[in-house]
Amino acid sequence: MKKIVLILSLFVFAHGTCQNTAYSDQSSTDKFYLKSIYNTSDYTVVVFSGFMVDDYTGTLHKPGGKSPYILKTKNGSVHALVKQAGWNGPGYNGFGTRKFMGGESVMFKLYFEKVNNLDNISGVVEKDCYGSNCWSFEKIKIYKDDADEFDPHNDHISITNFSLNASYDSYNNNNKKGVELSINMTVKGLKSKPLALTVRVKNRASGQFEIPNHYAKFDYNYDEKKLNPDYDESVFNDIKLFVPYDEIILDKGKNNLSFDIDLIVDDAQHELIKHLKTQNWHLTN
């Protein structure tokens, strides 16, 4: 089955907390690396990144469960994991076991009970986990960065009143046949931040994404719409996106597809802020 995709994503610029580059001199895994550590008003946030050369299955354990991550300090104190963002597992609040495809880039954040002095952090390890399958990052070094960087997972940002209407067999201004998407939503906490709404398509049989035939500027995106919220709580109605049928790589017969709609950051990592909606549909070739 060929790979296919329709995803709608929102790109965001903003500023907030100061991020610091972090490095681990003693790591037990080559799948992920420690990227940065910073404090918000409530948490110490540890950012991990990785690139999957081959298919890989990993598990992120939830707080209070078996072998959750803990944050260790040089004075012997332990700070518990509170929540995560970006792992997108099938379990509670996105924790659990998930499969990564070869060639996939990954970034996720772990939110811990706050450590006021970041220089006191010594390691991030899985609690009561022993053996080669345990992930640990120790002998941590932090290099402070004076630049402010937007934290897309702070509690002041919300996307509500989201709705999606898909009009199939529509035509755009270039007389191309396809799907017209109409989107409504309320965006809070992103006043004056440039946003872009984009869409991808997924093949439900393979679970894979495909670069559209026209090789869009942003890989996998079929269309995009720039947005600029004028208020702390901005209402957007009837945002139009269009996906031509001839941009989707199809197999013969009935193709089971989905629109995956996400809110992501417009930076080099295109970090996910929030998955907004998955809507199934099919197209016959």
What is the pLDDT confidence band of residue 269, given thresholds at 50, 70 and 90?
low
Residue 195: name the closest of 262, 104, 278 by CA. 262
Tell me if 120 is assigned to some domain.
yes
Range 55-64 average pLDDT: 90
Tell me if 1 is assigned to some domain.
no
What is the pLDDT confidence band of residue 268, given thresholds at 50, 70 and 90?
low
Tell me if 201 is assigned to some domain.
yes
Residues 139 and 245 in one domain: no
Please give the pLDDT value at position 4.
Answer: 38
Which one is predicted more confidently, 11 or 56? 56
Range 225-254 average pLDDT: 86
Q: Which residues pair with 272 in a beta bridge?
A: 264
Domain of residue 229, CATH code? 2.60.40
The domain of 122 spans 17-149
Using CA atoms, how far residue 281 sits from 40, 201, 209, 258, 284, in Å, is 40, 10, 15, 6, 10
Residue carrying the six token digits 């630049």 = 147
Residues 85 and 164 in one domain: no
User: Cα(141)–Cα(69) distance, rounded to whole angstroms?
Assistant: 18
What is the pLDDT confidence band of residue 9, given thresholds at 50, 70 and 90?
very low
Range 261-268 average pLDDT: 66
Q: Dig out the tokens for 130 from the structure.
A: 């022993």
Residues 90 and 10 in one domain: no
Residues 158 and 249 in one domain: yes
Tell me if 45 is assigned to some domain.
yes
Residues 67 and 119 in one domain: yes
Residues 157 and 125 in one domain: no
Give the pLDDT confidence of 12-26 residue by residue, as tens digits: 333 344 456 665 666
Percentage of the chain modeled with pLDDT above 90:
26
Domain end (from 126, 149, 172): 149
pTM score > 0.75 for this model? no
Please give the pLDDT value at position 262.
Answer: 74
Residues 145 and 31 in one domain: yes
Residues 34 and 130 in one domain: yes
Please give the pLDDT value at position 267.
Answer: 59
Residues 253 and 141 in one domain: no
Residues 112 and 219 in one domain: no
Percentage of the chain modeled with pLDDT above 70:
76
Give the pLDDT confidence of 128-162 residue by residue, as tens digits: 887 777 888 888 877 765 444 556 666 678 889 99
Across all residues in the chain, what is the average pLDDT?
A: 79
Residues 47 and 134 in one domain: yes
Domain end (from 149, 182, 213): 149
Domain end (from 149, 184, 218): 149
Q: Dig out the tokens for 259 from the structure.
A: 């629109």
Count of domains for the chain: 2
- Could you tell me how many helices (H) and strands (E) the chain has, helices first? 0, 21
Please give the pLDDT value at position 21.
Answer: 65
Please give the pLDDT value at position 69.
Answer: 92
Residues 112 and 179 in one domain: no
